Amino acid sequence: MPALEVHNLKKNFGDVQAVKDISFSVEPKEFFGLLGPNGAGKTTTIRMITGVLKPDAGSVMIEGIDLRSNFLDAKMKMGVIPEVGNIYPDLSARENIELVGRFYGLSKATREERADKLLTDLGLKERADDYARKFSKGMRQRVSIACAMVHEPPILILDEPTEGLDVMSRRLIVDKVKEMNRNGSTVILTTHNIEEASRLCQRVCIVNKGSIVAIDSPEHLRRTMEKMQAVEVGFDRKVEQAWFLSDDISRVEQCGDKWRFYTEDPDKAIEKIVKVKEAQGLKILSMSTTGPTLEDVFVKLCEVP
Amino acid sequence: MNWNVYLRGVSVVARKDMRIYYRKAPVFIFGLILPTFLFFAFFVGRELDINKFFPGFLAMSLFFTSSSVGPLIVPWEKQQGTFERLLSYPLSISAIVLGDVIAGAIFGLLISAIVGTLGILFIPITVTNLALIILAFVLGNLCFSGLGVLLSSPGGKAPANIMMLAALVRFPLIFVSGIFIPLSEMTGPAKLITYCSPLTYLVDLLNQSMGQAYVFSWGMDLLVLFGFMALFVLAAAVVLRRMSLKGL
């Protein structure tokens, strides 16, 4: 039985179709990513999955439980960090975590034990009893993730959990989420950080303008974009883009101190680059071939300028 | 419906509200300081029969305290960014509304119990029916706490705006509910207007339980208060369900 099944989900806000017809399923223990540009419908989809928003049509099944007819039982299975999901600034880190434990019916002993472990794991032990209003953004987000995990949910849904965080907080959160996944939780992550999604997710679903444009493993998605192979070259001096444009090189982009040449055929592209090098008297300092990144796939599918 | 989860949600929401919102400045200002000043303004230094007007003052104090917590909670949570998270817990909107109503009612109950006890000890007030006072306290606090939650349910995330709206609704009510002019002495259109105010029935109930002149039977007062309470709570749940994402 899938951990999450979404069938024909639709949501309109007035005349705007925020989510058009989204269906997908997530297997137990899978690390699943939901990607898309701003306004693509990711957060609306997540809000419908977590029961915050009622869909106009379609259904959501959480471990086989219909969210519409068994609302509370289905929500008991989830741990959620919503897009706007702060913690209570007038409570301490420990009180915030224990409050959430109460919502999920944990006993006092279990709440205390899990709060202690999570505070230690997330580097907040020393500040456990301080009011959350005194915390930095990264610390608040660490408490937030602890709140989502305190009842050890089978499904963890994280909407942009590492957005705008410092490296330390980001790493602690990612490590903790990976640990939950290793221990058997299904993770559904929305993120703008394509590199992070590529590194963490077994499958990603790319959403644009309220519809799914691709759903597959990052590796498979990259392979479908063979045209987006590239040759990356470092030269000894400044070059001009126009020198390299030809039938075999579709796009030229400067990446830091290197140049990236997009091509369907790296062999022919290299031939062209070498010809230009000789004609212009350039010296090649480095050269490597790369496949398309998940970001390239994302940009292509979503037509992000 | 899983009733265990539902009732646990109501109880945890109420506990959370009591822990966080009882200490907020607007609750002190609108729930405690304002009725105290109104008491001084209208009752102190005037040749009034305090026994005759005490039930009205007690009703006014209960009305202000119990309706002071509700208007604050939802806008405050939306402003702090905690409301969407609350919606993602195993809670329904009606459980959130009920939890908020109970938190407001317990605050009102505590303060009105203190005011009532002080009245009995120091004025002294005649109590003819203690059970009726207790019933009036419980039902009155739930009713006006429900009104407070209803006032906040359509709003966005600016607590100050909602508190102003709440003041606009609450102030006129105390002038048309038989607090300053006894109900039994009212005539004509003024009397008809007082019948539309839920506070009238609380004042009448307390008058009756403290040996003062009253208009309706206690059963009628309780029934109307219960009706208003049910109306406020249901309306708050319906409106909040429709407007829950406004201001997120």
Give yes or no: residues A134 and A259 share one domain: no
A50 touching B, CB under 8 A?
yes
For residue A292, the domain's CATH number is 3.30.70
Judge: A99–B16 Cβ closer than 8 Å, yes or no.
Answer: yes
Optimal mutation site among B4, B89, B246, interface A, most CBs of chain A within 10 A: B89
pLDDT computed for residue B184 by the predictor = 77
CB B81 within 8 A of CB B111: no
Give yes or no: residues A152 and A260 share one domain: no
> Can you give the residue range of the structural domain that contains A233?
223-302
Residue B44 scores a pLDDT above 80: no
**Pairs of residues, one from chain A and one from chain B, whose beta carbons lie less than 8 Å apart:** 84
Q: How far apart are CA B204 and CA B217, in angstroms?
A: 9
Which residue among A71, A82, A99 sits closest to B84, beta carbon to beta carbon? A82
Report pTM.
Answer: 0.83
pLDDT tens figures, B88-114: 999 999 999 999 999 999 999 998 888
Q: What angle do helix axes B198-209 and B159-175 make, rounded to 10 degrees?
A: 50
Please state the φ and ψ torsions of residue B22, each to the nearest 5 degrees.
-65, -25
Q: How many domains does chain A have?
A: 2
Give yes or no: residues A211 and A247 share one domain: no
Give yes or no: residues A110 and A212 share one domain: yes
Q: How far apart are CA A251 and CA A261, in angstroms?
A: 6
Bond before B124 cis per omega within 30 degrees? yes
Domain ranges of chain B: 3-243
Q: Which of A45-54, A177-186, B173-182 has the lowest mean pLDDT?
A: B173-182
Domain boundary among A174, A201, A218: A218
The residues facing A17 across adjacent strands are A12
Q: What angle do helix axes A167-182 and A137-149 make, rounded to 10 degrees?
A: 10
Judge: B80–A84 Cβ closer than 8 Å, yes or no.
Answer: no
Q: What is the largest CA-CA distance in chain A?
A: 77
pLDDT computed for residue A303 by the predictor = 66
Give yes or no: residues A26 and A123 share one domain: yes
Q: What is the DSSP string of A26-87?
A: E-TT-EEEEE--TTSSHHHHHHHHTTSS--SEEEEEETTEETTTSHHHHHHTEEEE-TT-PP
Which residue among A71, A84, A95 sits closest to B92, beta carbon to beta carbon? A71
CB A169 within 8 A of CB A141: yes
Judge: A99–B90 Cβ closer than 8 Å, yes or no.
Answer: no
Q: What is the DSSP string of B26-73?
A: HHHIIIIIHHHHHHHHHHTTS---HHHHHHHHHHHHHHHHHHHHHHHH
Optimal mutation site among A50, A88, A151, interface B, most CBs of chain B within 10 A: A88
Domain boundary among A164, A189, A218: A218
Give B15's contacts in chain A (Cβ within 8 Å).
102
Give A84's contacts in chain B (Cβ within 8 Å).
81, 83-85, 248
Q: How many CB atoms lie within 10 A of CB A89?
A: 16
ipTM of the complex: 0.86
pLDDT tens figures, B115-167: 888 888 887 788 888 999 999 999 999 999 999 999 888 876 777 888 888 88
Judge: A53–B89 Cβ closer than 8 Å, yes or no.
Answer: no
> Looking up tokens 């019933």, which residue turns up?
B135
Give yes or no: residues A55 and A184 share one domain: yes
